[in-house]
């Protein structure tokens, strides 16, 4: 652990000039700095006093969304003597967590501390959690070591191992075995994820398959932005392109450029409204630059007043509204898939019975895509031409689009139940209260 701390410190020292510059030029990098360094606000001491605490860590937006129902079900099962606190790593995750969990002030939200003893220990001392829950598979050695030394059980829920992580993990299996021995429980999304965890060094008796929490995501109430988009469409079909990414070293075009090319090609015969939802806020400006010569509006302006000007494109420049916007869509494209990012979650549009399009990179959701393809609830398109062909088919053949969407929703519904299984497993790790639960 001492060597790990030295190496981590070296990384921070070498990168300090860059991070200092970013903190000076961007408020996003200053956000939560004191909390990341181990400064615990007084309110957390007060909130945790006299209560049993569960600390849940959700890295970013995707993990926060997956945790939403889990937190609600845990809270219902445990009762008022328990407190669930939530940490995130990214600013976008923090914003969504505050929106989802702290509206009534019942769930303190904070930034996850840096993985140094001086930052981790103050939080553990203040909260004294009975259980530490990690969403998916972000494992930090110092935190795991401190939890082990203080006899705090650690559960990794909704765990998955991507192709890239598996290949890297197997190369240093000896190191991973020591790290994977520290959590008390792994709840994997699929049989393949469980197999990979064991192959990398986790104890087989500690690894169980509970399913994917994202199958249990509940359809959100329709937001004002979603309703305004529906009004702006004025009866036209709505194509929602969610979680789009920029170009990588292997591609010269961003996903938004490819989508615009395909969408332009079908506009003459099948006019529609296009919603572009970049995955990362820092890309909002770049995507807006692509559409400045077109008829467009930014979603952030739709919260202010009913738009009076027509638009053909909506830039979804807000956080946490994508799922609600899918609810008014006609066709969905799931991003991170035309570029090699492994794809994003196609279940969000599937719950609304939408026909789904994705590119060929879907490694991060291979099991979900496999199930959708088996039921013909998704179409994989490799490039702009194939995307144009699929769009034409879905916009011109309502029966085909409806059937495809219905099959996608059937897959979504068949796989639900992960939350119930996860709650049951977590309650079994808790001292005392879990024994009283039905």
Q: Is 212 exposed, middle or buried, given 0-12, 13-18 or 19+ CB atoms closer than 10 A?
A: buried
Which has the higher per-residue pLDDT, 92 or 407?
407
Q: Check: CB of residue 61 under 8 Å from CB of residue 319.
A: yes
- What pLDDT score was predicted for residue 319? 85
Is residue 434 scored above 50 in pLDDT?
no
Where does the pLDDT of residue 107 fall: very low under 50, low under 70, confident under 90, or very high at 90 and above? confident
Full set of structural domains in the chain with CATH? 24-211+417-436 (3.40.50.11720), 224-414 (3.40.50.2000)
* Residue 366 predicted with pLDDT over 60: yes
Q: What is the pLDDT of residue 203?
A: 95
Mean pLDDT, to the nearest integer, of 63-81?
A: 92
Q: List, in order, residues 6 or more apart from 170 with CB less than 8 Å away.
A: 199, 200
Can you point out the beta strands (E) in 35-89? 52-57, 82-88
Q: At residue 175, does pLDDT exceed 90?
A: no
| Among 139, 140, 92, 138, residue whose Cα is nearest residue 120 | 140
Average pLDDT over all residues of the chain:
89
Task: Please report, rounded to a whole number, the percentage of residues in the chain having pLDDT higher than 90.
Answer: 71
Per-residue pLDDT reduced to its tens digit, 376-387: 999 999 999 999
pLDDT at 71: 94
Q: Phi then psi for 368, rounded to 5 degrees? A: -65, -45
The reported pLDDT for the residue numbered 373 is 97
Residue 100: the pLDDT is 85
* Residue bearing the bigger pLDDT, 211 or 223: 211
* Other C-beta atoms lying within 10 Å of the C-beta of residue 250: 7
Of 63, 136, 146, 348, which is the active-site residue?
63
In the predicted model, is pLDDT for residue 357 greater than 90? yes
**What pLDDT shows up at residue 322?**
92
Helix (H, G, I), strand (E, B) or coil at 5: helix
Question: What digits encode the pLDDT tens for the residues 299-349?
Answer: 998 866 667 778 999 999 998 889 899 999 999 999 999 999 999 989 999
Average pLDDT over residues 269-282: 95
pLDDT at 4 over 80: no
Predicted local distance difference test score (pLDDT) of residue 223 = 81
Predicted local distance difference test score (pLDDT) of residue 436: 42
63 tagged catalytic: yes
Q: Are 331 and 292 in contact (CB under 8 A)?
A: no
Q: What's the rounded Cα separation, in Å, for the pair 35 and 86?
A: 13
pLDDT at 332: 98
What is the distance between the alpha carbons of residues 150 and 59, in angstroms, rounded to a whole number?
23
Q: What share of the chain has pLDDT > 70, as a percent?
A: 88
pLDDT of residue 415: 84
pLDDT tens for 11-62 read: 656 655 655 655 555 655 567 899 999 999 988 988 999 999 999 999 988 8
Q: What is the pLDDT of residue 431?
A: 82
φ and ψ of 251, to 5 deg: -125, 145
- pLDDT reported for residue 433: 44
Q: Starting at the earlier edge strand, list the strands of the sheet with 207-209.
A: 109-111, 82-88, 52-57, 131-135, 154-159, 185-188, 207-209
* Three-state secondary structure call for residue 332: strand
φ and ψ of 46, to 5 deg: -65, -45
């Amino acid at each position: 652990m001492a060597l790990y701390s030295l190496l981590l410190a070296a990384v921070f020292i070498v990168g300090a000039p860059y991070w200092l510059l970013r903190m000076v030029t961007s408020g996003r990098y200053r956000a939560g700095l004191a909390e990341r360094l181990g400064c615990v606000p007084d309110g957390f001491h007060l909130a945790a006093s006299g209560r049993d605490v569960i600390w849940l860590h959700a890295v970013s937006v995707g993990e926060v969304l997956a945790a939403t129902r889990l937190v609600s079900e845990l809270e219902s099962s445990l009762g008022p003597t328990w407190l669930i606190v939530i940490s995130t790593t990214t600013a976008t995750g923090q914003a969504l967590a505050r929106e989802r969990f702290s509206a009534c002030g019942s769930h303190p939200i904070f930034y996850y501390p840096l993985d140094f003893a001086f930052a981790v220990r103050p939080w553990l001392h203040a909260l004294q959690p009975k259980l530490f829950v990690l969403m998916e598979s972000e494992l930090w050695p110092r935190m795991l070591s401190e939890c082990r030394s203080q006899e705090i059980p650690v559960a990794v829920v909704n765990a998955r191992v991507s192709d890239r992580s598996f290949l890297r993990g197997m190369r240093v299996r000896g190191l991973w075995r020591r790290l994977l021995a520290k959590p008390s429980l792994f709840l994997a999304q699929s049989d393949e994820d469980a197999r990979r965890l064991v192959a990398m060094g986790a104890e087989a008796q500690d690894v169980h398959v509970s399913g994917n929490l994202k199958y249990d995501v509940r359809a959100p109430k329709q937001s004002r932005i979603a309703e305004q988009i529906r009004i702006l469409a004025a009866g036209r079909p709505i194509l929602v392109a969610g979680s789009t990414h920029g170009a990588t070293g292997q591609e010269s075009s961003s996903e938004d450029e490819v989508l615009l090319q395909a969408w332009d090609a079908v506009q003459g015969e099948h006019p529609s409204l296009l919603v572009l939802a970049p995955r990362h806020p820092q890309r909002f400006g770049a995507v807006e630059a692509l559409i400045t010569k077109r008829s467009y509006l930014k979603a952030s302006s739709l919260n202010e007043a009913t738009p009076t000007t027509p638009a053909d494109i909506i830039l979804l420049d807000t956080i946490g509204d994508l799922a609600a916007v899918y609810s008014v869509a006609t066709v969905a494209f799931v991003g991170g898939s035309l570029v090699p990012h492994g794809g994003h979650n196609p279940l969000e549009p599937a719950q609304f019975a939408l026909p789904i399009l994705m590119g060929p990179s879907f490694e991060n959701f291979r099991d979900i895509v496999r199930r959708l393809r088996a039921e013909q609830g998704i179409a994989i398109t490799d490039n702009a031409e194939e995307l144009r062909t699929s769009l034409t088919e879905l916009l011109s053949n309502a029966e085909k689009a409806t059937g495809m969407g219905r099959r996608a929703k059937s897959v979504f519904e068949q796989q639900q139940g992960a939350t119930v299984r996860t709650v049951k497993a977590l309650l079994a790790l808790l001292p005392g209260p879990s024994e009283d639960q039905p």
